[in-house]
């Protein structure tokens, strides 16, 4: 096992030879079940939308949240069924086909950041992209929108600790000097002092900021957050328990060394026993 080489950050040619995506991963390593998920979000002036699929061992779930900013309306749904086709994530295409909401997203390109971090028994892997252009068509009863915005793509897998708790923020925006920016900031998972998943993209180029401090729901480090809507759920499934809270909203303040003129994004908290 190559845990001695961790934490590792890439992409790069020295990627540790562990079972990692896109290759197969065992269902269990060192007594820990495999967890994997993909979460995609679109942030635009008209709306914000996220869609995700997640697995913990043999259990699977999909969910989506739509925040119609123009009408001040939130729609959402979660499905606990492995074969559900309500949310489909296939490379650059994301499709949601649910009662009362249909969405089709096409993701553009963005420079990825990959991180592999050790846990108590095994490891966790993630690949983040932020700031990529996204084109979407979203349909709700009596309303059809074609939207162009920017997004975040989170692919994660691994054998996380039995108890895992994290705070996460991701978003897109414009710096005061006009340059496009995006961010992925986290505390509690994949967050060693170096070679973490933390990243700030400026003009499409990612760099790793120092460890992140969250300040409740008010912001993270120099970023100020103003929530517009909330999605929360609690679940208890066999040996898995989860408490999840997601907030969509706007950001201001400072992102690293840059003044942020305008930002849209998400603040998230997840406490899991899995």
Contacts of 2 (CB under 8 A, 6+ apart): 16, 17, 18
Task: Give, in order, the Cα–Cα distances in Å from 123 to each of 18, 93, 120, 138, 193.
Answer: 9, 28, 8, 37, 16
Residue 238, pLDDT score: 76
Residue 62, pLDDT score: 96
Residue 1, pLDDT score: 46
Residue 52, pLDDT score: 97
Residue 5, pLDDT score: 86
Residue for token pair 């949601």: 96
Residues in the chain where the model's pLDDT stays below 70? 1-3
Contact 152, 128 (CB under 8 A): yes
Task: Give, in order, the Cα–Cα distances in Å from 203 to each of 47, 52, 106, 174, 178.
Answer: 23, 27, 21, 10, 10
Residue 104, pLDDT score: 98
Q: What are phi and psi of 3, to 5 degrees?
A: -65, -20
Whole-model pTM: value is 0.95
Question: CA 76 to CA 99: how far, in whole Å?
Answer: 10
Cβ count within 10 A of residue 14: 8
Residue for token pair 């914000």: 48
């Amino acid at each position: 096992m190559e845990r001695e080489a961790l934490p590792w950050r890439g992409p790069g040619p020295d990627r540790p030879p562990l079972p990692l995506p896109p290759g197969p991963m065992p269902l269990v390593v060192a007594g820990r079940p495999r967890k994997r998920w993909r979460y995609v979000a679109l942030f635009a002036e008209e709306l914000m939308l996220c869609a995700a699929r997640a697995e913990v061992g043999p259990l699977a779930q999909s969910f989506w949240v739509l925040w119609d900013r123009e009408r001040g309306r939130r729609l959402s749904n979660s499905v606990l069924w492995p074969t559900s086709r309500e949310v489909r994530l296939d490379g650059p295409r994301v499709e949601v086909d649910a009662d009362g909401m249909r969405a089709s997203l096409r993701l553009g390109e963005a420079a990825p950041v990959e991180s592999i971090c050790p846990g108590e028994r095994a490891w966790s892997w993630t690949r983040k992209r932020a700031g990529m252009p996204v084109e979407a068509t979203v349909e709700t009863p009596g309303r059809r929108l074609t939207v162009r915005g920017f997004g975040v793509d989170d692919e994660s897998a691994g054998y996380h600790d039995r108890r895992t708790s994290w705070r996460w923020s991701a978003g897109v925006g414009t710096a005061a000097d006009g340059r496009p920016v995006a961010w992925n900031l986290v505390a509690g998972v994949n967050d060693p002092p170096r070679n973490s998943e933390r990243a700030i993209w400026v003009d499409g180029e990612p760099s790793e900021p120092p460890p992140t401090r969250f300040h409740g729901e008010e912001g993270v480090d120099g970023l100020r957050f103003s929530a517009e809507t909330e999605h929360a759920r609690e679940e208890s499934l066999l040996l898995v328990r989860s408490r999840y809270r997601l907030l969509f909203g706007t950001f201001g303040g400072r992102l690293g060394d840059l003044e942020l003129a305008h930002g849209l994004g998400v603040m998230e908290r997840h406490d899991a026993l899995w």
